[in-house]
């Protein structure tokens, strides 16, 4: 039987949404007759991104718990009850063979209800330190697909499969794209390129740092490919000159990575996984404003293997020039970081996840 029905649930950020879309696309390739439904939080970015990818989505009235006492927290029990009831109705109507959760509070109610009525469920955890939702659901699922070692501290050991995070397929082959990339971004092939990325919306502190250090980069003969984010483009577009390209968003990320000699990045799980495949020297500047400080933990997991450099936001004023200048000048360090980060790559993540799902479907658990 290949006309399976799959529900994928997760969201709130691109880090939860894009892996779900990658898994859905791979399952669609394996089972062309299959039907898919996404379930997300109704006021979050998945309501826009999922339909753009060609899939249907239903929204739940749900949000995360704030860390301080707010009106939103007082509303949480009502939202949870509403989402559990709506999840029951979605499951009854769609009758899935299997449910895939990719984290984020939106997936909690749906997977809780699905597992309680006997629908097999799997989780995909992107981070080295799991979020509340996936920890809460882990006892009720068949398998948990992870990207890092050491997650048996949080999840039942017999359910963990280390697959890596699903990434864009066009990143798997960057060889031969450098010339096209330099043309595309109008960069000089004779000068080193620093690619700065702060996520699709941007990263305020990284942007402030780059603006402040434009003279420093120019003095070192470094060109900048600067993805400042949609929220900040108006503020920084005036910084563009012969050596600096300022972009709100980059669609062809494979070319941006191909152009780069050095990369400065946040440490969201998706970015970290992409960067292991890209294999360029990286300075991670994690966002300190992320739940459970995920980004610092993701970066530390890579740095502990001598595969990247970590600079916290609090260290930028004092240490950035010394660290960046040292990396730029040290060919051996660049080579070592490149080799070590590439050795962490798990490029077959999506294919392995689909194989595991196929095994569950065939085992009769999804009968």
Interhelix angle 14-30/269-278, nearest 10 degrees: 60
pLDDT of residue 11: 78
d(CA 41, CA 106) in angstroms, rounded, equals 5
Say what the pTM is.
0.83
Q: Are 110 and 39 in contact (CB under 8 A)?
A: yes
- pLDDT 10s digit of each residue in the chain, 367 long? 568 999 999 877 777 888 999 999 999 999 999 999 998 877 777 788 888 889 988 777 666 555 556 666 666 666 666 666 677 778 889 999 999 999 887 888 889 989 999 999 999 999 888 888 899 999 999 999 999 889 999 999 999 999 999 987 777 788 889 999 999 999 999 999 999 997 666 689 999 999 999 999 999 999 999 999 888 999 999 999 999 999 998 888 999 999 999 999 999 888 999 999 999 999 999 998 877 788 999 999 999 999 999 999 999 999 999 999 999 999 999 999 999 999 999 989 999 999 999 999 998 755 4
The phi and psi torsions of 22 (rounded to 5 degrees) equal -60, -45
Domains 5-167+347-362 and 170-342 share a fold: yes
d(CA 98, CA 6) in angstroms, rounded, equals 5
Spell out the domain ranges in the chain: 5-167+347-362, 170-342
* Alpha carbon of residue 243 to chain centroid: 29
* Alpha carbon of residue 304 to chain centroid: 20
Distances (CA, A) of 298 to 26, 71, 252, 269, 344: 26, 32, 24, 7, 13
pLDDT of residue 240: 94
Domain 5-167+347-362 has CATH 3.40.640.10: no
pLDDT of residue 72: 66
* Sheet containing 193-197, strands listed edge to edge, beginning at the edge strand earlier in sequence: 244-247, 223-227, 193-197, 262-265, 282-284, 309-310
Q: Are 225 and 245 in contact (CB under 8 A)?
A: yes
pLDDT of residue 101: 95
Domain at 170-342, CATH from 3.40.50.300, 3.40.309.10, 1.20.810.10, 3.40.50.2000: 3.40.50.2000
What residues have CB less than 8 Å from 67, skipping those under 6 apart?
none
């Amino acid at each position: 039987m290949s006309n399976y029905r799959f529900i994928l649930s997760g969201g709130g950020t691109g880090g939860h949404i894009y892996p779900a879309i990658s898994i859905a696309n791979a399952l669609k390739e394996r089972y062309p007759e299959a039907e898919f439904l996404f379930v997300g939080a109704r006021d979050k970015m998945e309501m826009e991104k999922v339909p753009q990818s060609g899939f249907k989505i239903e929204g739940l009235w749900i949000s995360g718990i704030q860390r301080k006492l707010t009106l939103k927290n007082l509303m949480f029990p009502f939202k949870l009850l509403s989402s559990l009831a709506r999840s029951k109705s979605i499951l009854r109507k769609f009758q899935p063979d299997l449910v895939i959760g990719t984290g984020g509070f939106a997936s909690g109610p749906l997977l809780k209800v699905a597992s309680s009525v006997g629908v097999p469920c799997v989780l995909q955890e992107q981070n080295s330190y799991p979020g509340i939702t996936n920890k809460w659901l882990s006892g009720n699922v068949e398998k948990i697909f992870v990207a890092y070692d050491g997650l048996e501290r949080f999840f039942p050991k017999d359910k963990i499969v280390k697959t890596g995070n699903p990434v864009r397929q066009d990143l798997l082959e960057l060889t031969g794209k450098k010339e096209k990339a330099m043309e595309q971004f109008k960069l000089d092939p004779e000068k080193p390129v620093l690619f700065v990325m702060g996520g699709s919306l941007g990263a305020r502190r990284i942007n402030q740092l780059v603006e402040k250090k434009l003279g420093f980069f120019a003095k070192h003969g470094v060109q900048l490919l600067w993805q400042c984010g949609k929220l900040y483009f108006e503020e920084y577009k005036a910084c563009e000159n012969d050596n600096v390209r300022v972009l709100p968003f980059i669609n062809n990320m494979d070319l941006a990575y191909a152009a780069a000699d050095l990369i400065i990045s946040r440490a969201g799980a998706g970015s970290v996984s992409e960067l292991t495949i890209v294999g360029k020297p990286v300075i991670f500047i994690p966002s300190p404003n992320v739940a459970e400080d995920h980004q610092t933990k993701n970066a530390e997991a890579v740095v502990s293997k001598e595969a990247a450099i970590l600079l916290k936001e609090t260290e930028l004023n004092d240490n950035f020039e010394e660290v960046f200048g040292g990396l730029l000048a040290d060919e051996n360090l660049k080579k070592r970081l490149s080799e070590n980060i590439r050795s962490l790559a798990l490029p077959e993540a999506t294919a392995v996840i689909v194989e595991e799902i196929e095994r569950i479907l065939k085992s009769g658990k999804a009968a």
